Amino acid sequence: MTEIQKLKFDIKLKNHVWFWGSYFTLNFLRWGAYFNDYPYSFKSNLIEFSLHIPLVYFNLFVLVPRYVLKQKYITYTFSLLVSLFCIYLLKTALTYYIISENIWPEANREYHPFEINHIVAVCIGELYVLAMASSVYLTLTWLRERERNRSLRENQFKIKLKYLENQIQPHFFFNTLNNLYALSLESSDKVPDVIIKLSNLMEYVLYDVKGTKFVPLIKEIDYIQNYIEIEKLRFDNVEVTVNLESNIEDVVVPPLIFISLVENAFKHGGVNNNNLKIKINCKVIDNKMLDFEILNNFVNSQNLNLKGGIGLVNTKKRLKLIYKNDFSLKHTTKLNYYIIRLQIPIDNEN
């Protein structure tokens, strides 16, 4: 048994001891006050609890798993009745030899073994304790199981989200390195500048946003603008316009959630190399939704894939995990412009 397992066992054992000790003490004080005879109450409760406890655990750990969970209710009922009868015999014998020849001293007259009233009283008493203790145990078990399932779902969510993020980041760097390779073949003097900008982008991805659920929108916009500067180096004639409203300072967003949209704009406009136009509009709607729209021109002969590549697919999966159905991602074309519009709820508390 490991140290952690031993610690968990010790905690569980302490909880059980605390429960039975508290219940015994309350019962002892109750009947001691009622009969004004605390020595008798102590002996009586000692006998009863020496039978209550085995019956409760026998029911919880043997009868319930073996019969109830397998829907063998008749067998369970029969086994429980046999157990109650055995408990009755033991209680009667212990009471007779330890306390009094009158096996039911609390009653107003002397009782003998196997009288129906005494059998019913003992069995109902045992069932009462059995039901109470089992209810407490099963309720706590259900709560622990619910918490465990919640924790498992949360871990699965984090693993899946991290997997998608890790797919997006190599995809972006692969594209950027391709651009750098193309420039190096041309012996371009732009290469050192590209390397510096790429280094800044990598620092943001690998350090600034690593393990972060949300980041300020302003930082994401800065990241996008640095990326745009790198992309501009490989185009002869490119015009990028970024329009930001003034009320976005406090907005936070998932890291790298927009970069695939920007990559997609350069991808679709890349064929139209001599005159690439990209427009980015970012605003807050009714202080509830963040509206991010990106447009790029294209030539009519281009065969556009409105579903997008792996970057857009993974971005949509990330959005689904984070926001469930509380977001909108639409792709349209209008007047030779390819348009992607993303709307996500604002959560400034993160």
Residue 4 has pLDDT above 50, yes or no: no
Task: Please indicate, yes or no, if residue 335 is contained in any of the structural domains.
Answer: yes
Q: How far apart are CA 86 and CA 340, in angstroms?
A: 75
pLDDT digits (tens, 9 = 90+) for 202-258: 888 777 887 788 999 999 999 999 888 888 876 778 889 999 987 788 899 998 889
Which of 88, 114, 140 corresponds to the end of one domain?
114
Asked whether residue 341 carries a pLDDT value surpassing 90, the answer given is yes
Token pair in block for residue 15: 């909880």
Residue 325 DSSP one-character state: T
Residue range 316-329: mean pLDDT, rounded: 89
Same domain, 24 and 84: yes
Q: Are residues 103 and 235 in the same domain?
A: no
Q: Do 195 and 326 reside in the same domain of the chain? A: yes
Q: Looking at the structure, do residues 242 and 318 belong to the same domain, yes or no?
A: yes
Max mean pLDDT range (1-15, 21-35, 183-197, 291-305)? 21-35
Same domain, 39 and 173: no
Among the residues of the chain, which ranges form H helices? 3-35, 38-58, 73-94, 116-185, 191-203, 217-232, 259-269, 310-323
Name every residue whose Cβ is closer than 8 Å to that of residue 170 and which is 6 or more positions away in sequence. none
Q: Does any domain span residue 139?
A: no
**pLDDT confidence band for 196 (50 / 70 / 90):** confident
Instruction: Decide if 225 is inside a domain.
Output: yes
34 occurs within a structural domain: yes
Contact 287, 346 (CB under 8 A): yes
Domain boundary among the residues 86, 114, 142 is at 114
Provide the residue range defining the domain that includes 88. 3-114
The reply to whether 209 and 334 lie within a common domain is: yes
Same domain, 171 and 305: yes
Residues 75 and 223 in one domain: no
**Angle at the Cα of 280 from the Cα atoms of 227 and 310, rounded to 5 degrees:** 60
Which two structure tokens, joined as six digits, stand for 43?
A: 């002996």
CATH number, residue 335: 3.30.565.10
Burial 20-35 (b: 16+ CB within 10 A, else e): eeebbeebbeebbeee
Lowest mean pLDDT: which of 82-96, 101-115, 287-301? 101-115
Walk across the sheet containing 337-345 and list its strands. 238-244, 276-285, 289-297, 337-345, 328-334
Q: How large is the angle between the packed helices 310-323 and 116-185, nearest 10 degrees?
A: 150
Residue 214 lies in a domain: yes
> Is the domain of 163 the same as that of 290?
yes
Asked if 184 and 301 sit in the same domain, the reply is: yes
Clarify whether residues 34 and 167 are in a common domain.
no
The last residue of one of the domains, among 85, 114, 143, is 114
Cβ within 8 Å of residue 88, ≥6 positions away: 119, 122, 123, 126
In angstroms, rounded to a whole number, what is the distance separating the alpha carbons of residues 136 and 138?
6
DSSP state of 331: E
Kindly state whether residues 73 and 169 are assigned to the same domain.
no
- Structural domain contains residue 130: no
Asked if pLDDT for residue 179 goes beyond 60, the answer is yes
- Residue 172 — pLDDT band, cuts 50, 70, 90? low
The reply to whether the predicted model has a pTM over 0.75 is no
Evaluate whether residue 50 is within a structural domain.
Answer: yes
Mean local confidence (pLDDT), 109-138? 77
Residue 121 covered by a domain: no
Q: How far apart are the first and last CA of the chain?
A: 41
Domain count, the chain: 2
